[in-house]
């Protein structure tokens, strides 16, 4: 492909080589909305099936070698983590981030680490410590924390007291983490709590992470902001503070919709990647960011949805790499906002699909992973095997 003069093709292509995206085990399973769950014959039910599906995504895209796992969903009591890790290796992938689950058990009705009851707080803490132990056995280096803790009505909780409980818990878990691990602290302003959540935004996540210890960073889930929020500003700010740990990529129109990435606002994704690639350009090195997907749309076929998201991520990352930083600086120096914006828009409008197709072929990958996966017949084959084992109806809301 013919590239603009300011670009070094080798640098661009090798940066793409280093752009890896982790897919989530739960993105391959049947999920629903609070109104019900519609099953797909091909969707995975067991960790073995989830890993097999994730391996398909890696096989066709070449850039998804790791799989995030959710402890209670993927390592039920009695499961052998070492065997699961070996299964992953055999399939050509590895276990990535460990996600403890301190939100679904009945004991967490009134919260986990910010529960008033010290016994429940201890139990949640223990689960996180157990998750670290599982992570050690599967070779993970990321502990990804999200809490459903919050309150539903004004007056319900002592907000500052809860802040102290959260701080203590994160500190203890951080102290138990191996020295080469990173703790990721995820924020979310709503759901399931409707009035306040204990880690509502990036600033609170950043403060908690700093209190927890040097290896705790912020996790930005692109679906976890109030409408109109400037996510790329948050990203730039966290980068500058050396506090951006990773992403949970998904898209949304209204709330935490967990749609495939870029389906609603691809320009936002480009603007996020622009802030990252601009910082990398200035620093002359890659930023240590864990790029992960957190999507679970209940109707799109799971593997196709994942490949679509991964291809969208690569496309927008490549577009961001096209920005002419020198020309942009000159435009800024002249206060030429029209030119400055145009430089971003030009990069965004460039069709990088031919470049990516060439890039993939040079790496012995199919030029169009989605089409190649569709032609492979994998989905039909597993639907035949898995479908009959599923119960017929979805589950009801109430």
Binding site for ligand RM4 (CB under 6 A): 99, 146, 186, 188, 221, 248, 256, 294
Q: Indicate which of Mn ion, ligand RM4, none lies near residue 315 (CB less than 5 to 8 Å, by partner kind).
A: none
| Sequence-distant (≥ 6) Cβ neighbours of residue 1 within 8 angstroms | 354, 355, 358
**DSSP structure class, residue 235:** H
Nearer Cβ to ligand RM4 (40/250) = 250
Q: How far is the CB of 186 from ligand RM4 (least distance, A)?
A: 5
Q: Which residues pair with 251 in a beta bridge?
A: 259
Residue that the structure tokens 């995975």 belong to: 44
d(CA 294, CA 299): 15
Q: ∠ CA(265), CA(267), CA(269), 5° rounding?
A: 80
* 281 within 8 A of 347, measured Cβ to Cβ: no
Q: Is 164 helix (H, G, I), strand (E, B) or coil?
A: helix
d(CA 365, CA 313): 17
Q: Does 297 bind Mn ion (CB under 5 A)?
A: no
Stretch binding Mn ion (CB under 5 A), from 87-95, 251-259, 301-309, 380-388: 251-259
Nearer Cβ to ligand RM4 (99/309) = 99
Nearer Cβ to Mn ion (296/344) = 296
Nearer Cβ to Mn ion (264/278) = 264
Tokens of 267: 């320009």
Q: Does 221 bind Mn ion (CB under 5 A)?
A: yes
Q: How far is the CB of 101 from ligand RM4 (least distance, A)?
A: 8
Nearer Cβ to ligand RM4 (69/307) = 69
Residue that the structure tokens 């601009």 belong to: 278
Q: Indicate which of ligand RM4, Mn ion, none lies near residue 162 (CB less than 5 to 8 Å, by partner kind).
A: none
Q: How far is the CB of 202 from ligand RM4 (least distance, A)?
A: 14
Interaction residues for Mn ion, span 344-383 (CB under 5 A): none
For the beta carbon of residue 339, count every other beta carbon within 10 angstroms: 14
Q: How far is the CB of 223 from ligand RM4 (least distance, A)?
A: 7
Nearer Cβ to Mn ion (53/221) = 221
d(CA 334, CA 330): 6
d(CA 138, CA 78): 15
Q: Does 53 bind Mn ion (CB under 5 A)?
A: no
Q: Indicate which of ligand RM4, Mn ion, none lies near residue 308 (CB less than 5 to 8 Å, by partner kind).
A: none
Nearer Cβ to ligand RM4 (186/251) = 186
Tokens of 23: 């897919």
Helices (H), 139-195: 159-176
| Sequence-distant (≥ 6) Cβ neighbours of residue 76 within 8 angstroms | none
Q: Indicate which of ligand RM4, Mn ion, none lies near residue 99 (CB less than 5 to 8 Å, by partner kind).
A: ligand RM4
Burial of 148 from C-beta contacts in 10 A (0-12 / 13-18 / 19+) = middle
Single out the residue of 168, 172, 232, 256 in contact with Mn ion (rule: CB under 5 A): 256
Q: How far is the CB of 146 from ligand RM4 (least distance, A)?
A: 4
Binding region for Mn ion (CB under 5 A): 221, 248, 256, 294
């Amino acid at each position: 492909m013919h590239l603009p003069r300011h670009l070094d093709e080798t640098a661009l292509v090798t940066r793409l080589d280093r752009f890896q995206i982790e897919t989530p085990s739960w993105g391959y399973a049947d999920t629903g909305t609070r109104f019900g769950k519609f099953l797909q014959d091909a969707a995975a039910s067991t960790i073995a099936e989830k890993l097999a599906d994730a391996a398909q995504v890696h096989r066709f895209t070449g850039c998804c070698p790791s799989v995030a796992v959710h402890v209670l969903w993927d390592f039920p009591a009695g499961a052998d983590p070492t065997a699961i890790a070996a299964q992953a290796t055999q399939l050509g992938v590895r276990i990535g981030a460990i996600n403890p689950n301190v939100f679904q058990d009945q004991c967490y009705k009134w919260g986990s680490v910010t529960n008033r009851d010290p016994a429940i707080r201890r139990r949640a803490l223990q689960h996180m410590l157990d998750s670290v132990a599982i992570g050690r056995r599967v070779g993970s280096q990321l502990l990804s924390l999200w809490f459903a803790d919050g309150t539903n009505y004004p007056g319900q909780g002592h907000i500052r007291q809860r802040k102290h409980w959260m701080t203590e818990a994160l500190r203890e878990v951080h102290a138990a983490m191996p020295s080469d691990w990173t703790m990721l602290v995820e924020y979310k302003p709503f759901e399931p709590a409707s009035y306040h959540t204990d880690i509502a935004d990036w600033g609170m996540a950043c403060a908690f992470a700093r209190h927890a210890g040097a290896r705790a960073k912020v996790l930005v889930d692109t679906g976890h902001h109030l409408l109109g929020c400037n996510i790329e500003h948050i990203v730039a700010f966290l980068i500058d503070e050396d506090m951006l740990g990773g992403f949970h990529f998904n898209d949304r129109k209204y709330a935490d919709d967990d749609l495939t990435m870029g389906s609603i606002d691809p320009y936002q994704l480009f603007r996020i990647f622009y802030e990252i690639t601009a910082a990398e350009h200035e620093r002359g090195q890659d930023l240590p960011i864990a790029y992960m997907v957190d999507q679970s749309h209940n109707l799109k076929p799971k593997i196709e949805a994942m490949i679509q998201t991964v291809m969208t991520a690569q496309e927008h990352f490549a577009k961001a790499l096209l920005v002419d930083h020198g020309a942009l600086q000159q435009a800024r120096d002249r206060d030429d906002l029209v030119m400055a914006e145009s430089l971003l828009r030009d990069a965004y409008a460039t069709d990088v699909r031919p470049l990516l197709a060439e890039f993939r072929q040079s790496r012995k990958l199919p030029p169009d992973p989605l089409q190649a996966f569709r032609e492979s017949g994998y989905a039909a084959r597993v639907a035949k095997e898995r479908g009959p084992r599923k119960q017929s109806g979805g589950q009801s809301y109430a």
